[in-house]
A and B are shown apart, each in its own frame.
Chain A
């Protein structure tokens, strides 16, 4: 599978990355190089193999917790690093006309 420039632009769009045209060309070459190398995975027989999700070497290790509020009421701490704020809210450009 080889990516064309239009696909690179579409993926960048999905990832919300602004690219200029020279970057599209460079990334296209690099990504195709990496994907060509990854292609060797198709040679592995994985018939009937359960995909490994998560990193634990011991199966069934994940815990559930109570679905309960554990903290809150820390608006100032939450907003302290915000690039823009309006009172107790994050400030963003106008979204709805």
Chain B
């Protein structure tokens, strides 16, 4: 017996079309799933159940009239970094207070246009700064997976899109929006045993998404499988004149690309991604993934991306610099929190508001960013990092002469306990070692669940593609998914 929460997005759309289920029935099932599991997992900051049921009713009416959109009646979660008109948007920070956007982000608006139903706003690291979803002002998110030999140890879902990944894995949403600045889609997807793609920079509009690091931020979907990601991305993507970095290019049929053969494709394996600290199980899974692709007719080509080791330090100059500039807008004057004493002057109001409103990780990054942009240090840090970034991008350009896609592990380890790696910021930053290069070079990357570690935790592989060639990324990702046949389920699931 098929339960409503068993449907993938592709399967759900077919069932809705055949009237085997209604949008209201689907939405009711997800609202129940959220009621059952959100108190423990804390994946949603805000649940909009009533609104979702009303939207689902309207969706069923549209379908009855023959006006169904591409995502008609599909219940989704929205990362609480996307502004949603009339629904509180927090960025998981105290500083946004009770901010209710008067406008809708382009990406969430595109999903609405296509008939999607919004279940609520998903938890994240504060301002998307983190890799464990433990920096949220609304409390940490718990991974629905746990270790076979230590089932009571609570694990992180990854971050920053930890709420998005946990909600999809635990079937508290059919799919979700997410954003990725250094790995914030791919790392949590890998930790939660689901798929997630960061498209090419410029593929999705950034308009209406709370900005973290504007030259790195990119929206993308997380979903149960690669095909569902393809369906969601097609709706989310597209040219938007309101974002000057939005690419004026047609959006391909990504779902069709999932069925493309990988026969004859050249798959690059970068030597520099074999690094100390890589779990042996992940190294083995990587080799297994390459063997699967070889069996499917792809050619495996060793390549070199010589500046890989400088990617994380480059990121931790560029991202905080842009963040310190973007977060200057939170001043306690126009929106969000205000903290002031009776005799505060304007400067005191700024300083008190920002001290009270930003959490420790955000304050740390604002400090680093302000320092590397300050007079006397700009050339040594910021300009230097921008030059190294150019070299990292150049490494990829050279690689594309020889290969069509690159396959790497998604993360250096499986999900870790909530109380680990919190003391040293640099240790936490190493989570993004395999994902951050794609952000710096602006390239598309997908994480696909490909196996389990010895404790039964999911592990992911990553496929990186050429700029605006998400189709090859989907083709290779689908081939890995088919070969891996990943059917394991988390312990907490609707």
Contacts and interface: CB of A to CB of B under 8 A. Distances in A.
Interface of A: 1, 3, 7-8, 11-12, 14-19, 27, 30-31, 33-35, 37-38, 40-42, 44, 46, 49-58, 61-63, 65, 74, 77-78, 80-84, 90, 92-95
A51 B354 CA distance: 31
Interface string B328-362: 10011111111010001111111110110010000
Given A46-B391, A49-B387, A31 B215 contact: no
A65 B248 CA distance: 14
Interface of B: 97-100, 102, 200-202, 214-218, 241, 244-245, 247-248, 307, 309-310, 313-314, 316-317, 324, 328, 331-338, 340, 344-352, 354-355, 358, 363-364, 366-368, 370-371, 374, 377, 380-381, 383-391, 393, 424-426, 439, 441-443, 467-468
Interface majority SS (helix, strand, loop, mixed), chain A: loop
A54 B245 contact: yes
25 contacts: A1-B380, A14-B370, A16-B331, A18-B348, A18-B355, A30-B364, A31-B368, A37-B316, A41-B310, A41-B384, A42-B380, A44-B387, A52-B386, A55-B245, A57-B200, A57-B202, A57-B441, A62-B245, A65-B244, A78-B102, A80-B102, A83-B97, A90-B334, A93-B348, A93-B349
A61 B249 CA distance: 11
A75 B371 CA distance: 36
Contacts of B328: 16
A16 B345 CA distance: 13
B241 A11 contact: no
Task: Name which of A37, A57, A80, A94 has the most chain B CB atoms within 10 A of its CB.
Answer: A57
Given A17-B363, A93-B340, A33 B426 contact: yes
A8 B349 contact: no
Contact of A53 (B215, B345, B348): B215
Contacts, number: 180
A61 to B, nearest CB: 7
Contacts of A55: 201-202, 214-218, 245, 439, 442
B310 A63 contact: no
Given A41-B385, A83-B335, A94-B345, 13 more contacts: A7-B371, A17-B367, A18-B355, A41-B381, A41-B388, A46-B388, A49-B387, A50-B387, A55-B245, A58-B468, A78-B102, A83-B337, A92-B333
A41 B313 contact: yes
Contact of B386 (A3, A38, A51, A58): A51
Given A33-B425, A51-B383, A55-B245, A17 B391 contact: no
Given A49-B387, A57-B443, A61-B247, A17 B354 contact: yes
